[in-house]
Amino acid sequence: MIQKRFGSADTTGRKLDVIGEYLSMYQKALGNTNFETLYIDGFAGSGEVPLAEHTDNLFDEDVRTVIAGSADRALNVDPPFARYIFIDKRRKCIDALKAKFKDSPNAERVNYSIGDANEHIQKICRAEQWRSQRGVILLDPFGSQVRWETIEAVAATKALDLWYLFPAGLGVFRQISNDGTVDQTHEASITRIYGTDAWKTAFFEPSKQTELFGEPVTKEKVVTPESAALFMIERLKRVFEGGVMDEMIPLGKHAYPSYYLLFAWGNASPKAKALANRLSKAAVKATDRKHGRIV
Ligand SMILES: C[S@@+](CC[C@H](N)C(=O)[O-])C[C@H]1O[C@@H](n2cnc3c(N)ncnc32)[C@H](O)[C@@H]1O
């Protein structure tokens, strides 16, 4: 199935490898305990990720490489999760997943939903019995689709570990002009992803320049993609009682961090805290060997 290209081999591969490693380590640690384990993919895609890669051949504009997407990697984890929920807004993606997984030995474990991830996830977080369940949720949007209330709902379960592809460059930094102006739609979208308008003071400083092209200038933009991601990390720390990974993984094309991969976990029991901390670090380290260390 043709899908929008959304990454270079290197960074999309790293994201999926980190998540795949984490899921595999998570299931090795929890898959045979009394907890029922659940994997939720809010932006599940089609199961395959087409990558645009440069080639030296002048007659080929690019070479199409396809790698396994997040849902495929999750379903193939050994031992498998007890249950899987795959959500995507596009019916085409869900149909592609159903076709791909129909003969999987884990097919019976999967529940598919078509629609907005925010609505589905908030409902799931309220409805499930979290006392007997533990799980991992992946939020891997193209842009600024994840609302803060969804993040709050995930944290409130105190049972889910969250991997979040946060669009710090694409959804925040790029939407703010250098003179500090933000159009109304982007202003609302930034407030929606952070769940606060405190960014309006944090991301600007009084301008040293008073005039630009005859127009008065009062403030200037000081936010960077990195500081936009750090601002989200601070927000995550307020609601995730387990913790938030200090390391944030920059992802994007041409060394521009359109996104940062963030990780947070809601379970504050000392055992769970230590486990999530240890496994997330190990998952990142495991991919350093393949993709090079992040500096
Ligand atoms: C970056 S892709 C996900 C890739 C996937 N994680 C993988 O590894 O194969 C983003 C997906 O989000 C879906 N999408 C966009 N907006 C959505 C929304 N509000 N709710 C659920 N899915 C959405 C798109 O249809 C697309 O398949």
Core vs surface per residue 263-273: b (16+ CB within 10 A) or e: bbbbbeeeebe
DSSP 8-class letter at 259: E
Check: CB of residue 33 under 8 Å from CB of residue 39. no
Q: Which of 139, 201, 148 is nearest to 166 (CA)?
A: 139
Does residue 272 form part of some domain?
A: yes
Residue 219: inside a domain:
no
Q: Is residue 194 part of a domain?
A: no
Q: If you write DSSP's letter for every residue of 32-85 in order, what string do you get? A: TSSSEEEEEETT-TTSEEEEEE--S-TT-S-EEEEEE-HHHHHHT-SSPPSEEE
- Within a domain: residue 132? yes
Sign of the four-CA dihedral 287, 281, 110, 10: negative
pLDDT in single tens digits along all 295 residues of the chain: 333 334 444 688 999 999 999 999 999 999 788 999 999 999 999 999 988 654 444 445 555 689 999 999 999 999 999 999 999 999 999 999 999 999 999 999 999 999 999 999 999 999 999 999 999 999 999 999 999 999 999 999 999 999 999 999 999 999 999 888 899 999 999 999 999 999 999 999 988 776 666 666 678 899 999 999 999 999 999 999 999 998 889 998 877 899 999 999 999 999 999 999 999 999 999 988 777 765 5
Burial of 106 (0-12, 13-18, 19+ CB in 10 A): middle
As for how many domains the chain has, the answer is 1
> Considering all CA atoms of the chain, what is the largest pairwise distance in Å, rounded to the nearest integer?
68
CATH number, position 37: 3.40.50.150
CA 282 to chain centre: 18
Q: Is 112 in the pocket of ligand 1 (CB under 6 A)?
A: no
- Which of 2, 16, 88, 192 maximizes ligand 1 atoms within 8 Å of its Cβ, making it the mutation to test the pocket? 88
Cβ of residue 90 lying under 6 Å from some atom of ligand 1: yes
Give the global pTM: 0.92
| Domain residue limits at 63 | 9-167+226-291
Query: Residue 3's pLDDT is what?
Result: 36
Which atom belonging to ligand 1 lies closest to the Cα atom of 6? 1
| Ligand 1: nearest atom to the Cα of 116 | 20
CA distances from 290 to 10, 25, 48, 49 (A): 10, 17, 20, 18
Distance 143 CA to ligand 1 centre (A): 9
- Which residue from 142, 147, 165 has its CB within 8 A of the most atoms of ligand 1, so it is best to mutate? 142
Ligand 1 within 6 A of 43 CB? yes
**Which 8-state DSSP code applies to residue 168?**
I
Ligand 1 atom closest to Cα of residue 93: 27
Contact 283, 25 (CB under 8 A): yes
Residue 103 domain-assigned (yes or no): yes
145 lines ligand 1 (CB under 6 A): yes
Which helix (DSSP H) or strand (DSSP E) does residue 204 occupy? Answer: strand 204-206
> Is 189 within a domain?
no
253 is a domain residue: yes
Contact 236, 194 (CB under 8 A): no
Cα(61)–Cα(42) distance, integer angstroms: 33
- pLDDT at position 11 is 84
Of 192, 188, 143, 148, the closest CA to residue 169 belongs to 143
Q: How far apart are CA 276 and CA 22, in angstroms?
A: 9
Residue 270 is assigned to a structural domain of this protein: yes
